[in-house]
Amino acid sequence: MAKIENKNPSGKIEKGATLYVSGASSENEAILAVENYLRENRSEELAITIAENGTGDGYEIRLD
């Protein structure tokens, strides 16, 4: 199961924030996890961009 960490110092889910997804077996699973995270936090209007493609053990995703 994917784990999502909000890297925004304020902890807010907003445009420009970066989320780090670990435990995802693929890029698609990471994107799905972030989409669900945004839905749960009522922030579905934000677009997502993969900032790093699977470096290390996770994915960095920027909110746009």
The label of the residue with tokens 């445009």 reads 15
Residues 13, 16: Cα–Cα separation, whole Å: 9
Residues 58, 49: Cα–Cα separation, whole Å: 14
What percent helix, strand, coil does the chain show, rounded to 5? Answer: 20, 30, 45
Residue 56 has pLDDT above 80, yes or no: no
Residue 54 has pLDDT above 80, yes or no: no
The single-letter DSSP state of residue 21 is E
pTM of the model: 0.88
Which range (19-28, 30-39, 46-55) has the least confidence?
46-55
What whole-number percentage of the chain has pLDDT above 90? Answer: 86
Q: Where are the domains of the chain?
A: 3-63
Would residue 29 be called left, alpha or beta, if left means φ above 0 and alpha means ψ between -120 and 50 degrees? alpha
